[in-house]
């Protein structure tokens, strides 16, 4: 007999070789029906695998993320089985579960497949699922594994098997489909009641663009039809928050083929929001000792040869502009740092001048691959809220901390709670991708790790994700559809000061090399506004919104009074307009609601007589009658509340 410890701490005795499924059955039939897999001593395994020694066992169901993962992983096999049945001879790459569902990379060979084929794949999957096919695990020798896929002619699986050790190779068989797989899997296919093949995409084998592109099919499955329907509704809801859609509806920005791909045009409403954000950050930065600078949009090719960017990105940039007579070459600036280095060099610097913090909302241009462009989040021309801090090595940590404080201030002001802090360090294996000395890299990486630890924020560390010139800390936020975007960034750089031979005179009257910190709390104005739109569904905080109030006269008779109210509001620094169309009040309210204008001020006979406004709040409803000054105070108080936190 062995002791099985359940999550509630209770210990039960079972025969050696008991399975999680049997344990579930011993507790209740209902539980047994719902068990998808099991966590045994922190390892997730098939619910049908024997347990041979004392263990902690957690039964995993649809309510556990790991249970879902098991179901989706098995669903990937089910989809592969369906595809193999419908398109004999196709070859398979990998097919893992993902955050929402699963995918399988498939080489369809001669077949061409499009989304019109999804239905029959789904139908076949459901057909197999209803057969209650079991997932049978089999340990196979490397030799036998190679033999099987050699006969099948699947070079992708052969490649994977060749990288595995003999003795750790397992196959799973469901129906007629046999796959190389570590598992775990469902006991059988019966929990899969609703399936949806979501999309198809090209995906390079092993993520390498020089290798063959396979067809990736994305799908998701559920134990109940209703849950699938709800998921699809949620997807539709999320799409309504898409910044591209809201940007169009609220007239925030647009694109024109005549201007060019990835080159956003900010419309007045969007420009107001962006300006407000810039003003806000400028004030914060002024208080934090930053100095404004302005640099041109192009720079001589030699500047980028000095910085090292020319070698690294020269051929992947917009190509140089040439002067007609001299033939001098200029690049559109892809970043502001080389210009700022030259500003640093414009006069001798003493240690007393440090830290020197040079800030600029600098517009940069990068040639992004056409397939990568995406609304405002990935563009070819954008404005960074950039600054470069030049300091002594001793000041790095404090400066880094100071920047983090600014990022947190911004996130707090805009109520961004759900962000990821990622620290990107060098690839441990391949250090040839980076410029700069080992010693300097170690110093920089250590400083970041220390500050991160002291900040108390949850961080994730990624090796191999560093910029080529230094390690960095990025602040990532998810968009409406769960895609991650990098916003703020802080990067330590020991390399550019070397390349530009930056110096300062120390208290010892010797020359020393400063350290540089690149930082952009918003990241880019374009991307930040995009994420802000998706987080707020276009209901911007009062201090940012383009139009804070709209005055709705009941009829033309009250136009004069409406103008008086408008004048008062404008004098009180409140952004407002009058809806003077000859429409009914209900219509004006509806339109203002849809435009997400925070306050609607209804004025008619009553209001004119008493010198008041009837206030309706967007999304909330009637707030009652306010004296003009009382309404202005209400707005000012709310704006202050939001901005006070920030200062």
Q: Which is nearer to RNA, 225 or 248 (CB)?
A: 248
Q: Which is nearer to RNA, 316 or 573 (CB)?
A: 316
- Determine how many CB atoms are found less than 10 A away from the CB of residue 123: 13
Smallest gap from Cβ 488 to RNA, in A, equals 13
Q: Which is nearer to RNA, 129 or 337 (CB)?
A: 337
* Nearest partner of 459 among 441, 443, 471, 442, judged by Cα: 471
DSSP state of 100: T
Q: Which is nearer to RNA, 166 or 249 (CB)?
A: 249
Smallest gap from Cβ 616 to RNA, in A, equals 3
Rounded distance between C-alpha atoms, residue 581 and residue 566, angstroms: 16
Q: Which is nearer to RNA, 206 or 397 (CB)?
A: 206
Smallest gap from Cβ 166 to RNA, in A, equals 29
Contacts (CB under 7 A) with RNA, residues 571-610:
581-587, 589-590, 593-594, 600, 602-607
Q: Which is nearer to RNA, 310 or 568 (CB)?
A: 310
Q: How far is CA 45 from CA 4, 36, 446, 628, in A?
A: 15, 10, 38, 68
Smallest gap from Cβ 619 to RNA, in A, equals 6
Q: Which is nearer to RNA, 172 or 475 (CB)?
A: 475
Backbone angles phi, psi at 328, to 5 degrees: -70, 145
Q: Which is nearer to RNA, 137 or 616 (CB)?
A: 616
Residues linked to residue 490 through DSSP beta bridges, in sequence order: 473, 519
**Catalytic residue positions?**
337, 366, 384, 386, 388, 472, 518
| Residue 462 found at the interface with RNA (CB under 7 A) | no
Compose the 294-333 pattern: x for residues touching RNA by CB under 7 A, - for all others: ---------------x--xx--xx----------------
> Using CB under 7 A, which of 220, 277, 284, 337 touches RNA?
337
> Using CB under 7 A, which of 391, 616, 626, 635 touches RNA?
616
420 burial via Cβ count (<10 Å: 0-12, 13-18, 19+): middle
> Using CB under 7 A, which of 3, 372, 462, 627 touches RNA?
372
> Using CB under 7 A, which of 6, 435, 467, 634 touches RNA?
467
Smallest gap from Cβ 94 to RNA, in A, equals 11
Backbone angles phi, psi at 91, to 5 degrees: -115, 150
| Structural contact between residues 453 and 489, judged by C-beta atoms closer than 8 angstroms | no
Compose the 98-127 pattern: x for residues touching RNA by CB under 7 A, - for all others: --------------x-xx------------
- Determine how many CB atoms are found less than 10 A away from the CB of residue 155: 15
| Residue 456 found at the interface with RNA (CB under 7 A) | no
> Using CB under 7 A, which of 339, 340, 378, 535 touches RNA?
378
Rounded distance between C-alpha atoms, residue 540 and residue 274, angstroms: 12
Smallest gap from Cβ 233 to RNA, in A, equals 16
Backbone angles phi, psi at 100, to 5 degrees: -125, 85
Backbone angles phi, psi at 521, to 5 degrees: -65, -40
Angle, helix 525-536 to helix 268-287, in steps of 10 degrees = 110
113 burial via Cβ count (<10 Å: 0-12, 13-18, 19+): middle
Residues linked to residue 57 through DSSP beta bridges, in sequence order: 40
| Residue 409 found at the interface with RNA (CB under 7 A) | no
Q: Which is nearer to RNA, 323 or 369 (CB)?
A: 369
Q: Which is nearer to RNA, 9 or 619 (CB)?
A: 619
| Residue 339 found at the interface with RNA (CB under 7 A) | no
Q: Which stretch binds RNA (CB under 7 A): 89-97, 195-203, 500-508, 568-576?
A: 195-203
Q: Which is nearer to RNA, 145 or 477 (CB)?
A: 477
Compose the 539-578 pattern: x for residues touching RNA by CB under 7 A, - for all others: ---------------xxxx---------------------
Residue 121's H or E segment, with its range, is helix 118-130
Rounded distance between C-alpha atoms, residue 644 and residue 283, angstroms: 12
| Residue 628 found at the interface with RNA (CB under 7 A) | no
> Using CB under 7 A, which of 367, 443, 446, 539 touches RNA?
367
Contacts (CB under 7 A) with RNA, residues 1-40:
none
Contacts (CB under 7 A) with RNA, residues 198-237:
199-204, 207-209, 213, 215-216
Query: How is residue 580 written in tokens?
Result: 């003077």
Contacts (CB under 7 A) with RNA, residues 478-517:
481, 483
Rounded distance between C-alpha atoms, residue 65 and residue 97, angstroms: 11
* Nearest partner of 292 among 304, 282, 307, judged by Cα: 282
Contacts (CB under 7 A) with RNA, residues 47-86:
none
Question: Token pair 């509340």 is at which residue?
Answer: 641
Smallest gap from Cβ 466 to RNA, in A, equals 8
| Residue 399 found at the interface with RNA (CB under 7 A) | no
What is the per-residue burial (b if ≥16 Cβ within 10 Å, else e) of 603-623?
A: bbeebbeeebbbbbebeeeee
> Using CB under 7 A, which of 30, 268, 296, 621 touches RNA?
621
| Residue 630 found at the interface with RNA (CB under 7 A) | no
Smallest gap from Cβ 598 to RNA, in A, equals 12
Q: How far is CA 77 from CA 73, 199, 217, in A?
A: 7, 17, 12
**DSSP letters along 276-315, please?**
HHHHHHHHHHHHTT-EE----SEEEHHHHHHHSHHHHHGG
DSSP state of 320: P
From the CA atom positions of the chain, what is the Rg in Å?
31
Smallest gap from Cβ 358 to RNA, in A, equals 16
Contacts (CB under 7 A) with RNA, residues 248-287:
248, 255, 257, 260-262
Rounded distance between C-alpha atoms, residue 35 and residue 492, angstroms: 49
What is the per-residue burial (b if ≥16 Cβ within 10 Å, else e) of 586-600?
A: eebbebbeebbbbbb
Query: How is residue 395 written in tokens?
Result: 């000041």
Smallest gap from Cβ 472 to RNA, in A, equals 8
- Residues, the chain: 647
Q: Which is nearer to RNA, 392 or 537 (CB)?
A: 537
Backbone angles phi, psi at 492, to 5 degrees: -85, 140
Smallest gap from Cβ 105 to RNA, in A, equals 9
Smallest gap from Cβ 121 to RNA, in A, equals 14
Total residues contacting RNA (rule CB under 7 A)? 74
> Using CB under 7 A, which of 63, 65, 323, 369 touches RNA?
369
Rounded distance between C-alpha atoms, residue 54 and residue 314, angstroms: 61
| Residue 432 found at the interface with RNA (CB under 7 A) | no
């Amino acid at each position: 007999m062995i002791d099985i410890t359940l999550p509630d701490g209770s210990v039960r005795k079972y025969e050696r070789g008991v399975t999680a499924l049997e344990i579930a059955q011993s507790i209740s039939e209902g539980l047994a029906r719902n068990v998808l897999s099991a966590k045994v001593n922190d390892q997730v395994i098939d619910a049908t695998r024997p347990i041979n020694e004392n263990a902690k066992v957690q039964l995993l169901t649809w309510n556990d993320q790991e249970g879902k993962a098991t179901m989706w992983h098995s669903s990937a096999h089910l989809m592969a089985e369906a595809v193999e049945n419908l398109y004999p001879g196709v070859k398979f790459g990998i097919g893992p579960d993902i955050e929402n569902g699963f995918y399988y990379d498939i080489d369809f060979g001669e077949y061409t497949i499009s989304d019109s084929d999804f239905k029959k794949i789904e139908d076949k999957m459901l057909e197999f699922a209803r057969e209650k096919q079991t997932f049978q695990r089999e340990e196979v020798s490397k030799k036998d594994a190679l033999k099987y896929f050699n006969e099948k002619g699947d070079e992708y699986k052969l490649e994977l098997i060749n990288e595995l050790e003999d003795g750790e190779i397992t196959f799973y068989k469901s129906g007629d489909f046999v796959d190389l797989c570590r598992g775990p899997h469902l006991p059988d296919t019966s929990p899969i009641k609703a399936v949806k093949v979501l999309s198809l995409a090209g995906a390079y084998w092993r993520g390498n663009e020089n290798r063959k592109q396979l067809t990736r099919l994305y799908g998701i499955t559920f134990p109940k039809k209703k849950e699938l329907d709800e998921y699809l509704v949620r997807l539709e809801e999320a799409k309504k928050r898409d910044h591209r859609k809201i940007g169009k509806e609220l007239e925030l920005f647009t694109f024109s083929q005549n201007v060019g791909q990835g080159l956003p045009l900010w419309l007045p409403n969007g420009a107001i929001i962006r300006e407000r954000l810039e003003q806000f950050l400028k004030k914060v930065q002024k208080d934090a000792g930053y100095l404004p600078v302005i640099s041109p949009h192009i720079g001589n090719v030699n500047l980028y040869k000095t910085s090292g960017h020319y070698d690294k990105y020269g051929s992947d940039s917009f190509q140089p502009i040439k002067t007609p007579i001299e033939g001098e070459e200029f690049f559109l600036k892809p970043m502001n740092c080389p210009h700022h280095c030259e500003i640093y060099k414009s006069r001798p610097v003493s240690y007393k001048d440090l830290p020197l913090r040079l800030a600029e909302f600098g517009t940069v241009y990068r040639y992004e691959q056409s397939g990568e462009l995406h609304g405002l989040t990935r563009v070819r021309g954008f404005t960074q809220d950039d600054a470069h801090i030049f300091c002594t090595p001793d000041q790095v940590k404090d400066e880094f901390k100071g920047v983090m404080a600014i990022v947190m201030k911004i996130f707090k002001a805009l109520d961004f709670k759900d962000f990821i802090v990622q620290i990107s360090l060098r690839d441990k294996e391949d250090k040839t991708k980076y410029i700069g000395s080992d010693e300097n890299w170690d110093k920089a990486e250590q400083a970041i790790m220390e500050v991160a630890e002291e900040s108390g924020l949850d961080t994730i560390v990624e090796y191999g994700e560093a910029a080529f010139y230094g390690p960095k800390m990025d602040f990532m936020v998810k968009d409406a559809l769960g895609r991650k975007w990098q916003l703020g960034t802080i990067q330590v750089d020991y390399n550019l000061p070397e390349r530009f031979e930056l110096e300062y005179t120390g208290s010892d009257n010797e020359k020393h090399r400063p350290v540089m910190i690149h930082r952009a709390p918003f990241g880019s104005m374009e991307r930040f506004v995009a994420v802000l739109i998706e987080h707020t569904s276009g209901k911007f905080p009062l201090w940012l919104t383009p139009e804070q109030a709209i005055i709705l006269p009941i009829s033309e008779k009250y136009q004069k009074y409406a103008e008086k109210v408008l004048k008062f509001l404008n004098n009180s620094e409140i952004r407002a307009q009058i809806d003077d169309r000859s429409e009914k009040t209900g219509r004006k309210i509806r339109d203002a609601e849809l435009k997400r204008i925070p306050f609607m001020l209804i004025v008619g006979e009553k209001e004119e007589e008493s010198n008041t406004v009837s206030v309706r709040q967007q999304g909330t409803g009637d707030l009652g009658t306010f004296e003009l000054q009382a309404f202005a105070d209400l707005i000012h108080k709310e704006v202050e509340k939001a901005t006070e936190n920030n200062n």
